[in-house]
Structure formats: structure tokens, C-alpha cells
Structure 1
Amino acid sequence: MGFSEENLIGLILALLSSGFIGASFIIKKQGLKKAAAVSGVRAGVGGYYYLLEPLWWVGMITMIVGEVANFVAYAFAPAVLVTPLGALSVIVSATLAQLILKEKLHHLGILGCVMCIAGSIIIVIHAPKEQPINSVLEIWDMATQPAFLAYVCSITVLVFILVFHFVPRCGHTNVLVYTAICSLMGSLTVMSVKALGTSLKLTFEGENQLIYPQTWFFSLVVAICVIMQMNYLNKALDTFNTAVVSPIYYVMFTTLTILASVIMFKDWDGQSGGTVVSEICGFIVVLSGMILLHATKEFERCNSFRGSAPSSPSLSARLYNGNEDFFIKHDEESGSPSENTCSRRQDLH
């Protein structure tokens, strides 16, 4: 189908987003370490000196810039293209961790990175063109079509069942409960963000969309979905090992987002069966690389403890986690997790 100019803009913004977000984790970590060294109190035990550390703020601003770029990318390119490219932030973090933090990335971890890159290239090559949209009213028609309304109703019912039935019973013992809520809400977040971003884009181009109540409705949905998604993602990260949460969340969130986009925006309409299969294969390659990278880093960390002195903290235990408490917990605690803990975490894989 060819690669449109808007797809190219969305691709560049998505790549910039991954670069900024991946780098922000390393910059913030460095800022947290400096703040803990000066104050003697780390964030993990209630320290807030990092708020006075300029390097931490540089990392925070870098992350905000990355998130804004990601938001704008959805206004130009389909979610089928933008969402899977979020995996590239892992590559940026892994590379910078090796260069700046001197953390080793072993052969299987490198293989995981290569798979993420290869899968992303396949997705980019076969990405569908973004259908032209001239008004938020067109997006509203897409959002109210029977197929997407059925999807939204299904998501809502599933979320209510998970929140009120499964969370009280097994939320703290089953990693799938919190991550499922995050992923289900996340797919609606992306659809609303794309609708809002497109409306703002049209407004900046001279076609004011702020006069339509639909624009403000999408803004409200974005706020509700983001708050709920972040609430349960934080619960998942606080309760379970991040090396387990991150790949599961990425797989579920990206799969559901692509499904929602295909239903609402008809991303695959007009594409040949071979092209669609190629996109799916690229997505599977990215997922496999993500899981391999996270599993390898956790396995290496536990084996390092069994074999000899504690090694450098696991990179995978920090990726996709903006929680400062978790970032420096592994760096400043003198001991390592027990061997039983490592065994338990490996069993979760």
C-alpha cells in the first residue's frame, strides 16, 4: 500500500518517544543515586531529596517529552504501527545501561534486542496507511459502530468482574488480575488518545474541533482510563516482580490495543492477507524478543546470586517502571534477595 507521509511522521515520533522514554529511566536512576549519596536516605525508605536533584528532573522531563511524542504519534499513524514500537524503549535502556551503568547484557539478552528490532522493522514495512479523517464527528461514528460498542461493553464487563470479584480474592497472588485490568483499560486509553490527538491536530490545522462535545467526551474518557490504568499498574508493580509484570503487560496491552484499533479504525481494511500475516508475524517476533530479554536478565540475576557474589542489579527489574522506590532499592540495599525468592520468581515464568 506504500508508506504515507503521515505514517512517516508517526513513525519518527514513535521512535523519538522510545528513545526519550528509554533514556529517561537511566537518567532518573543516576539522579536517584546521586540524591541518595548526598542525603543518605534513599527514596525506597521515604527519602525525597531526589526532588532537589537536577539530574532527576532532567530524566523526568525526558520522560514527559517521550510521552508527548507518543501521544502525537497516534494522531498521525495507526495504533498497529505505533504501539508495538514501544518495545524499542527496552533496547535504548539496555544499551545505555551497558554503556553508562556498566551492566552486562549477555548473549540471549542481545538476541532478544535483535528480535525486537527485527520485528519492529517488519511491522514498519507492512504498516497500513492511516485513513484520512476530517472531523471528530467521523471518529465518533467509528466509536459508535456496533462492532466497537460491543468491544467496549465486553471490556467494561470484564473489568468490573476483575475489580469486584477477582481482585479481592486473588489480586495479590495472581499477576494476571492486575495486568489484565491495566491492559483492558489501556486499549480504551489508546483509542481515546488517538481520537483526542486527531481532534487537536485538526484544530491546529484550522478546523476547530473544540466546539464539538465529542472532543470533550474523548478527553474525559482519556482521563478516566489513564487514572484507572495507572492505579492498577502501580498495584501490579508493587505486588509482583517487575521482570514478570512488564512482559505480560506488554503482550496483553499491545494485543488488545491492536485488536481495538482494527475494530474501530479498520486498520487492516484494503490490505492483502499476506500483508496482515506479515504484520502479525512481526508483532510475534517483538513479543518473543521482549519475553526473552526479561526472562534472561532475571535468570542471570538469580544464577549470579547462587554462584558467587551479587552482581549488578537486574536491568529488567527496572524497565517500564517509573517508581523511584523500586529503582534504587536494588542498588543500595547491601543484601540480595534470597535464593528462595529467585526460585519463586523463576517459577512465575
Structure 2
Amino acid sequence: IIISICGNVLISISLNIQKYAHVRQAERGSEPYYTSAMWWCGLVLMGVGELGNFAAYGFAPASLIAPLGCVSVIGNAIISVVFLKETVRASDIVGGTLAITGTYLLVTFAPHTSTHITAHLVQHYTISWQFLLYLTVAFCVLLYVYKRRNVKHIVVVMLLVALLASPTVISVKAVSGMVTESVKGQLQLIYPIFYIMLVVMVASCAFQIKFLNQAMKMFDATEVVPVNFVFFTTSAIVAGIVFYQEFEGLAMLNIFMFLFGCVLSFLGVFLIARNRPQIKQQDPLLSTFTGRRHTDKVQPEANTPTYGLLAAKLTCNRTGQIDDS
């Protein structure tokens, strides 16, 4: 749990460092962001944070690690206010309180005993009827949603990301667990299932990134972040319950309070991410004209936002010159 929390805090710090680097580069001019040493520092910190999350899956249940991603959202909001001087909103305070309360309930009532992941255990889970049924249903839903990919709705796109989150979480926990057991002395890297899970992990992560980038292009980040968190966390919890059977033997009170903590975390993330101010990008060409905006009319006297009349005049002048010659 501590490894996951530290990893998510590092991720939130890295995001704000990269955000600050983008702001500085925008003020300086048209230099690419990847020329900034600060941006690379943020990228390295993000890699360390993600590595911490990867390691955490080897020590704790997936249904506990995945919801702790809200720590990154809380940390991001706090750092933005303290260091980037963003305005504190009432929704930030309420959302942060709900998210922290939800995180406390998650940590308190989640299953804390994690099975030692071995190659033989992963093979056994892979052919279990619960997982095969879940895989069939998920594949049918994924195929249906992909066929309807032309529907421009955020839920459709993010559902693709969420469905890919299940194999990602399953494979990440399997790979991380087998690496952990190998470090302890029980070598698991000689079994084919390790490399199968490694391929599944890389492939599912790649497709997740593809659809997530598609969502970021189509929709605002304030919509994508909370919806992605809710869908990804739900998918990860279901994957942990079905594949690794993490809720087996857990008391009903613990299950109810765990799910209640998830709901509080979801609400908190929605409130924090809702209507967050975006970084204003400045057009390098438009900035040479003081007091001009993208919505200003190009030819005020023509009462039009286009160069239509000006282009027509130039065409007429050019035609006249050709006739004279």
C-alpha cells in the first residue's frame, strides 16, 4: 500500500513538473517541450512512480492497488494550488475530503492477504470457468463497442479503455508476482506463462494508450480523467475478483464498506477534475498582433471572419494584369 501511495504521489509531482515545463516553453517561444530538462525530469519521476505501482501489484491485491490511483488526483490538485498558484475551489475541498475518506475505507476494508503468484497458479486461474466466462462476455462487449466506434460519445471510447484494463491488470499482477517470487528464490521466469503474460501486458497497455489518446483528442481532459479513473478502477476490481478471486472469504460488511469507499473516491475525483482550468496555448502568429484573438474578424470592414473578399480582389487584380499584358 505504501509503495502504491508513494508511486502515485510521484506521478502527481511529475505531471505538475511537466505542466510547468509546458508553461515555461510556451512563454519562451516555439521551442519543443522535449528540449526542456525539467520536462525530462518529470518524465523520469513518472517512470519511477509507475514502477512503484507495478511493484505494488506483486505484494497486494489488485482490487486494493487500482483504487489508490485517486491519491494521484488528490496530490495533483494540492501541488497545483501550492506550486502552480491555481485557485482553490469549493469543489476541490469537498472532492478531496470525499476522496481521502474513500481511500481510508478502501485501505481499511479491502482484502489484505495476497496469494503468492506462481506460474502454476496463474495457469490454474487462466483455465478457471469464472475467468473463461468473464473473458467471453468481455470479448463480446468489446467487439460490439468497437463496431460502434463511430459513435462520438465519451462513454463508448472510455469503455474500450476500461475493457482493455482487465487484461492489463491481470497480466501486470501476474508478471509482477512472478518476478517477486523469482527474486525470493523460486524462479518463475522459465515457464512459458510468464512470457505470455508479458506479451499480453505490453499489447493491452499499447492499445489502452491508443484509445486514451483518441479520447483526449475528442474530449476535454476534465471529462476524460474522472471517467477513465472510474472505468479503469471498476474494471481492475472486477478482474481481481474474477481472476484472482480476491473477495473469496471476505465478510459482507467488508465488501459493502469497500464498495462504498470506491463510490466516495469516484465522487471525489469527479469533483476535483470537474471544470479544471486548462493551460492557455498562445498562437505564435496571432501573438504578433496585440489585442487580437482567434474569434476576431479578419476584415472588420467586410463583416466577415474570412479572407474571401480580399482573395477576390487579389484575383481580380491578377486577372487585369494578365489582360493588360
Task: Show the counterpart of 1:81.
Answer: 64
Question: Aligned-pair RMSD on alpha carbons?
Answer: 1.8
Match of 1:229 in 2: 208
Match of residue 275 from structure 1: 254
Counterpart position of 2:138: 155
Q: In structure 2, what is the Cα distance between the partners aligned to 1:245 and 1:332?
A: 23
Q: Contact 2:117/2:177 (CA < 8 Å) preserved in 1?
A: no
Shift of 1:223: 1.1
Question: What is the 5 A alignment of 1:11-30?
Answer: 11-30=1-20
The percentage of counterpart residues that share the same residue type is 27
The aligned amino acid for 1:158 is: V
Q: What does 1:108-257 align with in structure 2 at a 5 Å threshold?
A: 108-133=91-116, 135-163=118-146, 165-167=147-149, 169-170=150-151, 173-257=152-236
Shift of 1:132: 2.8
**Secondary structure, in 3 states, of the residue corresponding to 1:88?**
helix
C-alpha distance in 2 between matches for 1:135 and 1:90? 33
Q: Provide closer, same or farther for how the CA distance between residues 160 and 140 of structure 1 changes in structure 2, counting only shifts above 3 A.
A: same
Matches of 1:279 and 1:244, distance apart in 2: 25
2:298 maps to none
Larger Rg: 2
Tell me, in whole angstroms, the C-alpha distance in 1 between the residues paired with 2:204 and 2:258: 27
1:260 matches 2:239: yes
CA apart distance, 1:134: 5.5
Aligned equivalent of 1:54: 37
Cα distance between partner residues in 1 of 2:245 and 2:97: 30
Paired letter, 1:68: L
Decide whether aligned partners of structure 1 residues 180 and 55 sit closer, same or farther in structure 2, where only a CA change above 3 A counts. Answer: same
* 1:37 aligned to which of 7, 11, 27: 27
Q: Quick one: distance in 2 between partners of 1:101 and 1:259? A: 37
Q: How far off its partner does 1:133 sit?
A: 1.9
Structure 1 Cα separation of the partners of residues 5 and 281 of structure 2: 29
Do the aligned partners of 2:162 and 2:235 also contact (CA within 8 Å) in 1?
Answer: yes
| CA–CA distance in structure 2, aligned partners of residues 80 and 331 of structure 1 | 39
Corresponding residue SS for 2:38:
helix
* Cα 1:57–1:134 shift into 2, 3 Å: closer
Which structure shows the bigger proportion of residues in helix conformation?
A: 1
CA distance in 2, matches of 1:336, 1:89: 35
Query: Closer, same or farther in 2 for the Cα pair 1:110/1:332, shift >3 Å?
Result: farther
Structure 2 counterpart SS, 1:141: helix
1:288 aligns with 2:270: no
Partner SS for 2:233: helix
Give the residue type in structure 1 aligned to 2:193. Answer: Q
Quote the Cα distance in structure 2 between the aligned partners of 1:126 and 1:25: 30
In the alignment, the residues of structure 2 paired with residue 258 and residue 135 of structure 1 have an alpha-carbon distance, to the nearest angstrom, of 21
Q: Letter of the 1:16 partner, please give it.
A: C
Secondary structure (helix, strand or coil) at the match of 1:75 reads: coil
Which shifted more, 113-122 or 145-154?
A: 145-154
Cα shift at 1:331: 4.7
Query: Contact 1:87–1:116 (CA<8 Å) still a contact in 2?
Result: yes
TM-score of the superposed pair, with normalisation by structure 1: 0.79
Gap regions ≥5 residues in structure 1: 1-10, 42-46, 299-313, 318-327, 339-349
CA contact (8 A) 2:77 2:272 kept: no
Give the deviation of 1:63 after TM superposition.
0.6
